[in-house]
Amino acid sequence: MRPLPLRPEQTAVRGRPRAPPLSARGGRTERAGVGGGPAVHSDCMLLSRLAQVSREIAATSARSRKIALLAELFREADAADVPVVIPYLAGRLPQGRLGIGWKVLGRRVAPAAGPRLTVREVDARLTELGGVSGPGAQAERARLVGELMGAATEEEQRFLIGLLTGEVRQGALDAVAVEGLAQATGAPADAVRRAVMLAGSLPAVAEALLGEGPGALDRFRLTVGRPVLPMLAHSASSVAEAVTRLGACSVEEKLDGIRVQVHRDGDTVRVHTRTLDDITDRLPEVTAAARELPGERFVLDGEVISFAPDGRPRSFQETAGRVGSRVDVAKAAREVPVSPVFFDVLGVDGRDLLDLPFTERHAELARLVPEPRRVRRTVVSGPQDVARAERFLAETLRRGHEGVVVKALGAPYSAGRRGASWLKVKPVHTLDLVVLAAEWGHGRRTGRLSNLHLGARTADGGHAMLGKTFKGMTDAMLAWQTERLRELAVDDDGHVVTVRPELVVEVAYDGLQRSPRYPAGVTLRFARVVRYREDKRPEEADTVESLLAAHPDVAP
């Protein structure tokens, strides 16, 4: 592994050209920590400033205004504030879930008269809180929360409660934050975006950029051992449409498994999911397969899938269950063996291939990976050759796969983006939607959360409900979703349980119809649940815009 030194030296941070003086903006403080708590850095951003910007961002639907607000905040921020500021703005805690319930947060604490908490101080206090364990932990945590709330103004208390309960989550924030950073530092937005993809972390890039200026972006290169966000696909309604849009292309089988990125450096192999989780230990077959390939250092992109003894793919649920199981991996591997099947190569022997056209990357892939470990494909010269693409789709479906991915031969690898040069074609239309609420079931489903309220993302970072469904759920799914949705609940009126919009569900549907009862003016026809997509973040769910674009005849 050759990890990149992503964190800039503190000296470099201090060397950044300073922003206007504090007094003019009121956004910084020289104060010490509350209640004799952890040491506090002077001259760092006040929580009140962050809470104010967070509120302003949530209140505006104009993307350009959000970007301007963020740029202003970043100009004021010290580089060392950024690893806290960015997750807080998105409504995430760097410490992950702290599990502080309403019982503690609901206690009213008299607010402080004026703002004095800094974001780094809050972060230090929450780290301390997360570390409390053993007998008396609950009381100690309640005491620490009380102390923190007592140091916060009323507005800060509201912000902290939202943060701790997950209610201030702003899904689409990372993309606007990239633009805000570009505006604040004068770096090109594309260069910032690329660095974020290669680092796999927005705060790491922001810290380097604010500390050292745009030159710091050059440091973020593809590094074996450091996963990058994978390239994603758009949908096309038919192979003919995809080939017409892309021209010369590769039509590849679309395997319904789990996306993996495999990094090998000598004997060390690491396997990552599309959300960059390290799942190496769960997939010994993938490590073994990577070690057999004739290359010492490479990064491959592909899908892990389980084939039944007759060579047909096992269901997604079986593959996903196997990939998800952490206990007794050897037994799981005997029962449901998986194989990696690769379709792209991002780097080999120290060369970064991301910007090469797909034809050249594929030539490298073919050199490195023997045929049975590569996805099947056919190359199509353009629309005049569409019959070949259609035959390939029909064969692929006959072999039990879900469809094809059509890829432009000349396109680079757009890490972390839903590039227009990959188009997936599946006979059954599905959408990835966010569960907004669920209704308590009746009869056999009494005590279970059943009828789901389904939402697509809107341009302003919110959700528009597209309809409801209680179809397609197995008993196991009903039990699982009841438990999971109760964890996410923010309100229960005895009929409808409203939840934080965090759970992504894949839904099949027969079409779209106009309906003035729904906020986007349309609703889904015969929606049914296919599966939950725990590998997807809510920010990756489908948008109203893309849904309407796919059904131009129905769009209001």
Ligand X SMILES: Nc1ncnc2c1ncn2[C@@H]1O[C@H](COP(=O)(O)OP(=O)(O)OP(=O)(O)O)[C@@H](O)[C@H]1O
Instruction: State the minimum distance, in angstroms, from the CB of residue 203 to ligand X.
Output: 25
Q: Which of 232, 240, 397, 550 binds ligand X (CB under 6 A)?
A: 232
343 labelled ligand-binding: yes
- 298 sits near ligand X (criterion: CB under 6 A): no
User: Among residues 66, 103, 254, 468, which one is catalytic?
Assistant: 254
* Distance of closest approach, residue 253 Cβ to ligand X, in angstroms: 6
In angstroms, what is the minimal distance from the CB of 241 to ligand X?
16
Q: Residue 377 has which token pair? A: 């494909």
Could you give the CA distance from residue 528 to residue 509 in angstroms, rounded to a whole number?
6
Q: Is 424 annotated as a binding residue?
A: yes
Q: Which of 89, 405, 431, 449 binds ligand X (CB under 6 A)?
A: 405
Tell me how far apart the alpha carbons of residues 24 and 310 are, in angstroms, rounded to a whole number: 72
Reply yes or no on whether 468 is catalytic. no
Q: Is 468 annotated as a binding residue?
A: no
CA distance 541 to 432: 5
Residue 542 binds to ligand X (criterion: CB under 6 A): no
Contact call for residue 197 and ligand X (CB under 6 A): no
Amino acid occupying residue 259: R
Binding residue (CB under 6 A) for ligand X from 88, 307, 343, 470: 343
Among 141, 254, 362, 373, binds ligand X (CB under 6 A): 254
Q: Which residue is nearest to ligand X (CB)?
A: 232
Helices (H), 296-337: 316-324, 329-335
User: Is residue 323 near ligand X by the rule CB under 6 A?
Assistant: no
184-218 per-residue burial string, b: 16 or more CB within 10 A, e: under 16: bbebeeebbbbbbbbbbbbbbbbbbbbbbbbebbe
- Smaller CB distance to ligand X: residue 325 or 546? 546
Q: Tell the smallest beta-carbon distance from residue 405 to ligand X (Å).
A: 4
Token pair 């490298």 is found at 364
Of 257, 242, 238, 248, which Cα lies nearest the Cα of 378? 248
Q: Do 145 and 106 form a contact (C-beta atoms < 8 A)?
A: no
Residue 517 marked ligand-binding: no
Radius of gyration of the chain (CA): 25
Applying CB under 6 A, does 457 fall inside the site for ligand X? no
Query: Pairing between strand 463-469 and 268-272?
Result: unpaired
Which of 75/537 has CB closer to ligand X? 537
Side-chain half-sphere CA neighbours of 410 within 13 A: 5
**Residues forming a β-bridge with 528:** 508
Cα–Cα distance between 342 and 373 in angstroms, integer?
A: 6
| Residues from 303 through 322 that contact ligand X (CB under 6 A) | 303
Q: Which residues are annotated as a binding site for ATP?
A: 252, 259, 274, 303, 343, 418, 424
Q: Which residues bind ligand X (CB under 6 A)?
A: 232-233, 252, 254-255, 259, 274, 303, 343, 375, 405, 424
Q: Which residues are annotated as a binding site?
A: 252, 259, 274, 303, 343, 418, 424
Active site residues: 254
